[in-house]
Amino acid sequence: MEFADGVIDIGMTNKKVAVYDSSLKQIDASYRSFPPKIIDGLETQDLDSMEEWFIACLSMYAKKYPIKALSISAHGGTFACLDKGGALTVPCVYYTHECGEEFHKRFYDRFGSASDLQAKTGTPALKAFINAAKGLFFIKEKYPANFEKTALILLYPQYWGYRFTGKAGIESTYLGCHSYLWDQEKNRFSSVAEDLKIAHLFPQKAENSWETLGTITKEFAAKTGLGNGTIVTMGMHDSNSSLLPHFAKKGETGFIVNSTGTWCVLMNPVRDYGFGPDEIGKTVLFNISAFGKPVKTAIFPGGQEFETWSRLLMDFHKREDLPPNDEGLYRSVLTEKDAFLLPELLPGSGQFPLSKARIAENGKEFFYADIARAAKNQDLCSLPKSFKNYEKAFALIRISLAMQAMISLERVGIKPGMEIFVEGGFRKDKAFNYLLSAAYPDNKVCLSDIAEATALGAAMAAKMALTGKKLFELAEDFEVEYLEVEKKALPELHPYRESWMRYADP
């Protein structure tokens, strides 16, 4: 083995340390989750425990593999505030912490309307601290004396890079991910960052994700057994990391990735920044790719909706099976247009923030909470007729998710000829992909088999830093299967969509 890359992939729930060989094949991996560390009633990242585990994993792998580089990818919305000696001045708060509507109102009253900020920074109004600037606003208010000691603010991947190298850096994929900190129109720190008086606390020159931040410190080398010359890349945002394999194989544009899980994230690498008139106020945003280019993105909690509705159905019907793709059933449901399952189970989220989760059936509306209560009590008279039919109810769930995916695809700018790559949990759902493929006769819908695309993207960044190769030169080093979904005409889909939209977006 010529060399190996170490990857630290930090998800909100699961953390991973992996090793990739020089041909970008994953050869080892460890996984762990960490409960929050409670400080002053706040859920915060347990950075010390994570660091101990990272060191333990790397120490184990350093004995087995010739690791020459480390690369870090991480979830968004997280930052660390450090004093002159590199110690934390304030806790590293979970981005899921919710302060309530009054807090959000104060934020927008001070820094500008949600619509103006979305237009300038590419970031929609999100709850809790998913907008990192809200977390900084909160932490400055809660710990004013401690925050005054802050000499450096680092975004999450770069915090870990700093721990390993002692070097401070910044790169665009994390700075531009739903943070309110970067003005994407003017390509500089935003008015929010300036008004918070924090812009000067960040490293000022953004580097490419695959650039070298530095080599590991002697202390970190001694703890891990890694060689003193082991390099650490700049690190990157996880969603952007997952795009790198597709960039290598398909080029910089011309495709949309539908990454499905608890949140469905649809990403279109585009050439120009800008929102359409009906997109402001929706969960449509712009990330910044590893190439520094805009990635138009739409999200909705598709996995959560599927799990929540399906669990309710399974418990009521005392079944555990997922109905298969029955094309005749789907044609019937779409033709009849008598029942519609609507978002949003997470109020204010997704592409229909004003919609309330419910089933609309024959002119009547049954809201999710009422359906759940009636199902628990076996109150058949209070349930919609469609809910009592297991197969039809599952068809309504999948059709609803397909509708939301279609709207998301259109909001991120799908055009004829563009390929759609479905990754994650919905890749295995034949009914969902049958509907999505039928909706776009001029677009290939392909199922991508990339396992753990985020970690692979991070490994690619490490290999680029080590070898000096360009991203596209790595295309021959790994395989990706793009399995095209068979196209079948489904003319009933679009009339049904018109009726569904009248309920979802009246």
Q: Where are the domains of the chain?
A: 4-234, 256-441+487-506
Cα distance from N-terminal residue to C-terminal residue, the chain: 60
Q: Output the CA–CA distances (angstroms, integers) from residue 258 to 9, 402, 482, in the order listed.
A: 20, 12, 13
pLDDT tens, residue by residue, 119-170: 999 999 988 898 999 999 999 999 999 999 999 999 999 999 999 999 999 9
- Residue appearing with tokens 């068979």: 486
**How far, in Å, CA of 180 to CA of 117, rounded?**
7
Q: Answer yes or no: are the C-beta atoms of 405 and 424 closer than 8 Å.
A: no
Q: Answer yes or no: are the C-beta atoms of 158 and 173 closer than 8 Å.
A: no
Low-confidence stretches of the chain (pLDDT < 70) are none
Which amino acid appears at position 103 of this protein? F
**How far, in Å, CA of 91 to CA of 455, rounded?**
27
Per CATH, which fold does 4-234 belong to?
Nucleotidyltransferase; domain 5 (3.30.420)
Q: What pLDDT is attached to residue 348?
A: 77
Q: What pLDDT is attached to residue 196?
A: 97
Query: What CATH number belongs to 256-441+487-506?
Result: 3.30.420.40
**How far, in Å, CA of 95 to CA of 79, rounded?**
9
Q: Are strands 79-82 and 152-155 parallel, antiparallel or unpaired?
A: antiparallel
Q: What pLDDT is attached to residue 384?
A: 97
Q: Is the peptide bond before 344 cis (omega within 30 degrees of 0)?
A: yes
Q: How many CB atoms sit inside 10 A of residue 1's CB? A: 9
**How far, in Å, CA of 309 to CA of 299, rounded?**
19
Could you say which DSSP state residue 15 is in? E
Find, among 40, 63, 358, the residue nearest to 225 by Cα. 63
**Can 4-234 and 256-441+487-506 be said to share one CATH topology?**
yes
Q: What pLDDT is attached to residue 505?
A: 87
Q: Is the peptide bond before 185 cis (omega within 30 degrees of 0)?
A: no
Q: What pLDDT is attached to residue 468?
A: 95
Q: What pLDDT is attached to residue 13?
A: 85
Q: What pLDDT is attached to residue 380?
A: 95
Q: Are strands 445-448 and 482-484 parallel, antiparallel or unpaired?
A: antiparallel
Q: What pLDDT is attached to residue 375?
A: 96
Does the predicted model carry a pTM greater than 0.75?
Answer: yes
Q: What pLDDT is attached to residue 417?
A: 96
The first and second tokens of residue 291, run together, are: 């190439």
Q: What pLDDT is attached to residue 29?
A: 97
